[in-house]
Structure 1
Amino acid sequence: MQTKTTTAGATAVPQALRATRVRYLVLAMLFIATTINYADRASISIAGSAMQKDFGIDAVSLGFIFSAFGWSYVIAQLPGGWLLDRFGSRRVYGASIFLWSVFTLLQGTIGFLAGAAAIAAMFALRFLVGFAEAPSFPANSRIVAAWFPANERGTASAIFNSAQYAATVIFAPLMGWLVHAFGWHAVFIVMGVLGIVMAIAWRLFMKDPREHPGVNRAEIEYIEAGGGLVDLDRGERGVAKKQGPDLRHIRQLLRSRMLMGIYLAQYCINALTYFFISWFPVYLVQARGMSILKAGFVASVPAIAGFLGGILGGIVSDALLRRGSSLSVARKVPIVLGMLLSMSMVICNYVDAQAIVVAVMALAFFGKGLGALGWAVNSDTAPKEIAGLSGALMNTFGNLSSITTPIAVGYIVGHTGSFNGALVFVGLHGLVACVCYLFMVGKIERVKLGALPASN
């Protein structure tokens, strides 16, 4: 069977057999799983103000509770990446969904505790949620690399990455209502049950490309001809499957200037994310005088803008690639423009009207979504043999901000009594991300293990 190849890496559907489109159903599963993933991360932000009152904790203590997820999420990234390379995305991701959902549900059971015991229990459970969620985004990236050709990866990655905004759009109003009607405990119980249902659906539906009963040979050939790694989880290709974790591979990745630029930029991009899913609803309540019910609904407005920006970033990037732009230009243009727009959040320090604050935050998070193409870049650059480990290393750098951002904002607010300095702190991360992609990353291309500097 002949498969035609067009410009810019695009591939034509084989004429003898019309290709199925199972990859889009796979992407829908990734989107739903990631939406629940981020809703579970953000549940603490909606419940945060009510928990502060119940447990009598200050802003600094709440910041540490917000950060608990980040500590374990970062620690578990490299082991999680190795597990993905060793056992495959489907199995590891399914177990991850189930475990983080159980730990989320258990957070709704600590209401009988008080004071330090309550803080310790919540910190421990948030820590376990982070540990269980660690393989999720490297798994998303691996699955996209396996199921999508290169000229569709930007959009596919943008869609699953935009689930973080969809989580707020869909669940922030629901969680705000749950807190208002039933108390903060109900948020965790409802989200935990939804996650367990998702884990069952994942187990029933998800398969590797060549093993999925709905896919035909034409779709496999289309994906493969466009650079899709359809055999990523089959056989013994992966280095991790043969050897287990190897610190030499990590050292080699860290010696790549391109990858280090990507990793540092991902840290900055995620700092914007973690302000939004941790302190933003608290900002609306404490700095802008909104009720928790209103804050839950209002928080969905910037989230909608972020979702639209995220989808548009992937579409623009892939369109540039199809029209002949280099991979570097196609990925960097939306990232740099988006990060510049994200800095607009600082304007909120100079306005009082709630409607203008929400509009400016919507613009900032539209920009953040537009520039959030880190996972597409990872799919473009990760060595085939250690795709999971490479994604985990990027996620390790990126999610250090899940520790630093909540704590830093907590200290700034606690010591100044204002969110003004916090918005400047968060907004400057957009500028640093631009600098990384413009002056450090250079040409974006797939890394080959043999092409990296040899370890000593």
Structure 2
Amino acid sequence: MASIHPSETATASAVGATSDAVVPQRLPTRRRWFMLSLLLIATIINYVDRVNISIAAPFMAKDLGLDKIQMGLIFSAFAWTYAFALVPAGFIADRFGSRFTYGVSLISWSAVTICQGLASGFATLFGLRLAVGAMEAPAFPANSRAVTVWFPARERGMASSIYVCGQYLGTALFTGALLWLATTYDWRHVFYSTGAAGVIFGVVWLFLYRDPMSCKKVSKEELKYIEDGGGLVKASQERTRFNWRQIAELFRYRQVWAICIGKFASTSALYFFLTWFPTYLMEERHLTNLKVGIFAVLPFIGATVGILLAGIVSDALIRRGVSLSFARKLPLVVGSMLGMSIVLVNFTDSNEICIAILTVAFFAQGIASSSWAAVSEVAPKELIGLTGGVTSLAANIGGIVTPIVIGAIVQTTGSFAYAFWFIGGVALIGTLSYSFLLGRLHRIVLQAR
């Protein structure tokens, strides 16, 4: 019998349709993880520039004389343009690739963020938030596309979770520092500092990020490992021509509808934490700035743990031979269901218990945010960015509706109680969508060309 040298051994791993893929024990490069680290940093900046206004809001509203209705409109303005720019942004990501699309987007929205520090009233702030939303739209379609071309299916859940956790890490890491800026200097410095950081990293991104086939530092062995495992390496070189029939055909699939509804529900909870949460702690729970700086971080830590746990469990199930469909759906159902717990804050007067409940609810939202991995599994290979854009459009309609609804509720009732019932009800809709509408996950093959 012929002997086999240890360096020639390989480990087989079953992953859905790629069950015959062979995984080398050692790869000369791990470039995909470096690219993922860039995605994580970019996503942290992305969400800091979304949430900075919620930290500045109590100071800004007092300085500029803004009421709750006006603040609700300002909070929602970002999502108006962001939501409706997502479909063209997804096409741009498919057409021009993640490097160019993300780099230009990052520098543009960061420059507008700096300009928010110069705002003098409602109209200026509202217009600038509209601009930030439009400029940020390409970010998550480009993220989804980058993970799909850089990672095999068996690692895609964890990879998606790592970059998505950036939307929570930024707030957890920088809330205290931004509150310090707002109180020590003024609220305008919150926008100056976060915007400047984004412009600098945008230049770094353009210098360092490459798609797989354009990267000179990735080995052939790593490229083969990614491609054999279901990563769409060659798709990173393809440039898609836009066709309206392809968008229409996407909506023939129940998977797309279910993910859209589920994302809408999950994003509704997210936007409470990104917009009204600090105001709720200050005005309804009467916490000091110091306590807000401490307590506001805890739910974001919970959400970070949730999204990472979802990715770890999902990928582990796949490696153990569980179907890709079940492994990707389980976190979505569990996270949406647990998210309904947010209504329990209406039944406690204890600030500590309130924060504990909100931490659990945001932990659940983090778990449900693993829907990006599901998008990566179902998106047609030629429309990865566009599918991400379509599902994000539905998600961010929640970003339009939620801040306005909460602002109207608080203005009318003087309390956040009905706001939590609203968020809990939407979480129930998301649970039903993922449980009964989603069905089996599989990559969509379009007929329209």
Q: Which interval holds the TM-score relative to the shorter structure? A: over 0.9
Deviation, 1:322, is 1.1
**Maintained 8 Å contact 1:341/1:364:** yes
The aligned runs of 1:212-231 (5 Å cut-off) are 212-231=215-234
Q: How far apart, in 2, do the equivalents of 1:163 and 1:86 lie?
A: 25
* Deviation readout 1:420-443 (Å, 9 max, x if unpaired): 000111122221111001110100
The aligned runs of 1:107-118 (5 Å cut-off) are 107-110=116-119, 113=120, 118=121
The aligned runs of 1:25-424 (5 Å cut-off) are 25-110=34-119, 113=120, 118-234=121-237, 237-238=238-239, 240=240, 243=241, 245-424=242-421
Matching residue within 7, 24, 30 for 2:14: 7
What residue in structure 1 maps to residue 5 of structure 2? Answer: none
* Deviation readout 1:106-160 (Å, 9 max, x if unpaired): 11112xx3xxxx1010011111100000010010000000000001111111111
Structure 2: which amino acid aligns with 1:292? N
Q: How far apart, in 2, do the equivalents of 1:327 and 1:172 lie?
A: 37
1:425 aligns with 2:422: yes
Q: How far apart, in 1, do the equivalents of 2:13 and 2:322 lie?
A: 14
Deviation, 1:3, is 6.7
* Deviation readout 1:198-241 (Å, 9 max, x if unpaired): 1011011101112223211111010000000112231xx34x3x
Q: How far apart, in 2, do the equivalents of 1:334 and 1:81 lie?
A: 25
Q: How far apart, in 1, do the equivalents of 2:128 and 2:54 lie?
A: 15
What number of residue pairs does the alignment pair up?
Answer: 439
Q: How far apart, in 2, do the equivalents of 1:209 and 1:2 lie?
A: 25
User: Structure 1 stretch 307-316 or stretch 424-433: which is displaced more?
Assistant: 424-433
Structure 2: which amino acid aligns with 1:401? G
Structure 1: which amino acid aligns with 2:63? D
The normalised TM-score by structure 2 is: 0.95
Q: How far apart, in 2, do the equivalents of 1:29 and 1:96 lie?
A: 15
Q: How far apart, in 2, do the equivalents of 1:428 and 1:32 lie?
A: 33
**Maintained 8 Å contact 2:98/2:142:** yes
Deviation, 1:2, is 9.3
**Maintained 8 Å contact 2:329/2:374:** no
SS at match of 1:449: coil
1:449 aligns with 2:438: no
SS at match of 1:76: helix
Q: How far apart, in 2, do the equivalents of 1:342 and 1:300 lie?
A: 18
Deviation, 1:348, is 0.8
Structure 2: which amino acid aligns with 1:187? V
Q: How far apart, in 1, do the equivalents of 2:435 and 2:63 lie?
A: 47
Q: How far apart, in 2, do the equivalents of 1:319 and 1:300 lie?
A: 29
Q: How far apart, in 1, do the equivalents of 2:22 and 2:445 lie?
A: 27
Q: How far apart, in 1, do the equivalents of 2:134 and 2:156 lie?
A: 27
Structure 1: which amino acid aligns with 2:176? P
Q: How far apart, in 1, do the equivalents of 2:350 and 2:398 lie?
A: 30
Q: How far apart, in 1, do the equivalents of 2:47 and 2:409 lie?
A: 25
Q: How far apart, in 2, do the equivalents of 1:206 and 1:330 lie?
A: 30
Deviation, 1:7, is 2.1
**Maintained 8 Å contact 2:13/2:23:** no
**Maintained 8 Å contact 1:97/1:196:** yes
Structure 2: which amino acid aligns with 1:209? P
Q: How far apart, in 2, do the equivalents of 1:330 and 1:396 lie?
A: 25
Structure 2: which amino acid aligns with 1:59? K
Structure 1: which amino acid aligns with 2:116? Q
Structure 2: which amino acid aligns with 1:36? I
SS at match of 1:356: helix
Q: How far apart, in 2, do the equivalents of 1:296 and 1:127 lie?
A: 27
**Maintained 8 Å contact 2:22/2:228:** no
Deviation, 1:180, is 1.1
Q: How far apart, in 2, do the equivalents of 1:363 and 1:128 lie?
A: 33
Deviation, 1:332, is 1.5
**Maintained 8 Å contact 2:212/2:236:** no
SS at match of 2:234: coil
Deviation, 1:4, is 5.7
* Deviation readout 1:347-389 (Å, 9 max, x if unpaired): 1111111111111111111111122111100100000111111
The normalised TM-score by structure 1 is: 0.93
**Maintained 8 Å contact 2:94/2:383:** yes
**Maintained 8 Å contact 1:180/1:293:** no
Q: What is the aligned-residue identity percentage?
A: 42
Superposition RMSD on alpha carbons, in Å?
Answer: 1.6
SS at match of 1:79: helix
Q: How far apart, in 2, do the equivalents of 1:14 and 1:164 lie?
A: 33
Q: How far apart, in 2, do the equivalents of 1:364 and 1:295 lie?
A: 18
Deviation, 1:291, is 2.5
